[in-house]
Chain A
């Protein structure tokens, strides 16, 4: 077996940054004085010492009226109500699931905030608590929405919509949450045969477009075998996964537009695996950045 192997010297490593023509703002680093107390209020990423507001993280300052915050370049996911997240069930507890969402604390999905499959109404009974593991078990991936935030900062999720629920058959990619651009819609269906959930928490779910099932079909194979994914779809999913990796390594913001551009540009490389090369990744990121710039100018 002879494969293509490329080993590089450390000095020849590719610098993944894509030059974009934006000016560098003022950065603050931990312990640096931002301003005197005045009548400002201190927000996230700052603290008060000796009547000065100081930064506690390295990043850019944002001022909203009198509130001063410093946003770090990257951090764990900080949830906001209404965010779409993708998470993994790690524990089944009494009347609730613990979900790992890349947040500071594990998120919680209450049994009372899920819809049963098939739109069946839940009866509060002991049996239905015992059925929890049949609904979602440890290791399952779900998509959900942030319903509320507890006082300690942990998130409460809900899946009370047909959009949300258990995820089957697809690929999950993890990126830093700060790379996800907030949009109105985080569910996307692309014309090239894949659908995506771009979770605000940096977990991205790529799956084939679900076929519309008739009601009888749904009843027949509700929780048995899932439909087969064709080779064409698998290739598209793998290509998209590599495109995400390429954009993330160049620290580019991810949304439906940038990913669609990257996917289209990536056809310069016919084999999907060629995209794993660092030069190819940089090239795709560069071409994508170019198209975004062009689009912005128009």
Chain B
């Protein structure tokens, strides 16, 4: 099957990564003081800020006695992509992204604990270089942890694509903007890696069923790798902010 040439003859990708390699992830928790929780995450050149407010009293129209209402707002900065473009918050793409984020994060949050409450999650993409949604999920997870919101597990998201080496499929992890634009298939997976459950799955373009298994397993591997990185960042943050008095002695 002919496809865009995403792998060099040495088996390296356009940006020099190996097929199973993530871009560098750097993250920081507690970047703001005003919200209850916040995080900044860089995945390669994709840069995302996340802020979490709540749980707080839900607005009357939204209130649910079943569990907490998760409210997401995804927005991209004017300067985030190659061409400057003013994106009003209500546009179709960011609305769709907000819905997806809500779906992915609601499955991680223990919503049943806080009836009649609401959690607001605000995402701002500062630079989009492929997989902005994944970076948003990962940043939102960190912000939720920073806010002390109870989670079932880390929610991590990762993309994968597929390239062809001869006639053999070679799945690519963590698709960058160039590879996305080259027009291959792009599978986005948001998962709770420690439980192995998938929270959200989205695919652009068509892919033969026979190859689906390898592509999704590579994406899941990416989610597990990301979880390790996030966990490390959380532990570092805890060690930095911990004070001896935090444990109440009875």
Contacts and interface: CB of A to CB of B under 8 A. Distances in A.
Interface residues of A, number: 38
Nearest to A178: B246
Nearest to B245: A253
B55 to A, nearest CB: 5
A62 B248 contact: yes
Contacts of B54: 76, 104
B117 A57 contact: no
B102 interface: no
B147 A30 contact: no
Contacts of A58: 145, 148, 234, 238
Contacts of B146: 73-74
Contact of A56 (B36, B56, B151): B151
Contact of B148 (A72, A105, A181): A72
Given A29-B235, A73-B238, A57 B248 contact: no
Interface stretch (A20-28, A81-89, A162-170, A221-229): A20-28
A193 interface: no
Interface of B: 33, 36-37, 54-57, 110, 114-117, 145-154, 192, 194-195, 231, 234-235, 237-248, 250
A104 B117 contact: yes
Nearest to B34: A174
19 contacts: A27-B238, A30-B151, A32-B194, A56-B150, A57-B145, A58-B148, A58-B234, A60-B246, A62-B248, A73-B148, A73-B237, A73-B238, A73-B246, A75-B148, A104-B56, A104-B114, A105-B117, A178-B246, A182-B248
Contacts of B234: 29, 58
B247 A76 contact: no
A71 B117 CA distance: 20
Interface string A162-188: 000000000000000010011000000
Interface of A: 17, 20, 22, 24-25, 27, 29-32, 45, 47, 49, 56-60, 62, 64, 71-76, 104-106, 152-153, 178, 181-182, 249, 251-253
A62 B247 contact: yes
Contacts of A153: 114
A76 B55 contact: yes
A56 B245 CA distance: 21
Contacts of B238: 27, 58-59, 73
Contacts of A20: 243-244
Contacts of B240: 17
A24 B239 contact: yes
Contacts of A253: 243, 245
A164 to B, nearest CB: 22
A29 B145 contact: yes
